[in-house]
Amino acid sequence: MRRRTVAAAILTVACGLLSPVAISPPAANAAQVVRVDELNSTRSALFIDSPAMGRVIQVQVLHPAGGGSRGSYYLLDGLDPGATQSTWTQATDAEPFFRGKNVNVVLPMGGQASYYTDWISDDPRFGRYRWETFLTQELPPIVDDYFSGNGVNAIGGLSMGGNAAFTLAVRHPEMYTAVAGYSACPDTTIAQGATMFSIANRGGNPLNMWGPPGDPAWAEHNPALLAERLRGKTIFLSTGTGIPGPHELEIKPQLPENLFFGGPIEVGVNACVSAFASRLAQLNIPARVDYSPVGTHSWSYWQDTLHASWPTIGGALGA
């Protein structure tokens, strides 16, 4: 590797307590790598000083031990990302699964309730969120430079990260050859109430993201309205039904949460995925949609669907 610098009413009341704070555009200078930690022969951590975000962002990359050109899979986290590593590597077998595969798996750290987008205003709880700029402009040249990326990219994520993956794919269609969503709802109209509630529930002001309901920014970030931009891309979506399945037979601390919260959430996701799949079908845009007859909104199922998606996503990357 080369080292180079490179709930609508509740929401209305909650949102009304805070008002957006305008911010100026980020500096135009390029992001800088300030440190690289080689965690092992196939996993590295980059610490990147991001002008857009105004702070250092850690990004971990799973990569082959040897050289050679390869594509990159940007894999986004859920609503509550891990602090020191992606929950993908913390809660699933992603690291051993990708070991030996000819691909860079790019795992950004942080971004709680961010939806990996550029917020229109700084937030008192979260600070400056300019994730779209970071992920689409600042980070890719660094990944390609340090990890032999060939410029062929895919993007995916679970839940919040899957919503964001589709949003980024329609807003930057030239960047991604494939997009995946694991238990994700890629329709900001259907998901608007849940999105705003999830931000408020984490202490943020939802108005600081894309403004109030009805603001044009919501439509400008809606993959369902912009679905034509997905034409020609490889698309993978998966959803359960909320009905307990085999992983609910496992004894684990998260079991009550998976049953009482993950079940109902997945019911809503299932309806949204079905609607989005219908939208793609109306446009004659092919997509692989995996409907499981069971499954809650939980990590054990996302590990399963990550594996199931790889022939589709990996094929698009030539990995």
pLDDT of residue 257: 67
User: In sequence order, which residues have a C-beta less than 8 Å from that of residue 41 and are 6 or more positions away?
Assistant: 65
Distances (CA, A) of 69 to 1, 101, 103, 111, 263: 12, 12, 9, 29, 41
pLDDT of residue 15: 39
Are the beta carbons of 183 and 158 closer than 8 angstroms? yes
- Give yes or no for residue 46 having a pLDDT over 80: yes
Are the beta carbons of 43 and 90 closer than 8 angstroms? no
Distance CA 172, CA 142 (A): 18
Helix or strand or coil: residue 195? helix
What are 68-105's pLDDT values in tens digits?
Answer: 999 999 999 999 998 899 999 999 999 999 999 999 99
- Give yes or no for residue 23 having a pLDDT over 80: no
pLDDT confidence bin for 17, thresholds 50/70/90: very low
Structure-model confidence comparison of residues 2 and 88, the more confident one: 88
pLDDT confidence bin for 230, thresholds 50/70/90: very high
Distance CA 141, CA 138 (A): 7
User: In sequence order, which residues have a C-beta less than 8 Å from that of residue 216 and are 6 or more positions away?
Assistant: none
What are 250-309's pLDDT values in tens digits?
Answer: 766 666 666 667 789 999 999 999 999 999 999 999 999 999 999 999 999 999 999 999
What are 182-192's pLDDT values in tens digits?
Answer: 999 999 999 99
Distances (CA, A) of 291 to 54, 88, 166, 167, 174: 41, 21, 18, 21, 28
Q: For the chain, what is the mean pLDDT?
A: 90
- Give yes or no for residue 1 having a pLDDT over 80: no
pLDDT of residue 250: 72
Report the candidate in 21, 93, 95 with the shortest Cα–Cα distance to residue 62.
Answer: 95
Helices and strands in the chain: count of H runs, count of E runs:
12, 11
Exposure string for 258-272, b = 16+ CB within 10 A, e = fewer: beeebbebbbbbbeb
Distance CA 305, CA 308 (A): 5
Distance CA 147, CA 63 (A): 7
Neighbours of 225 (CB within 10 A): 16
pLDDT confidence bin for 247, thresholds 50/70/90: confident
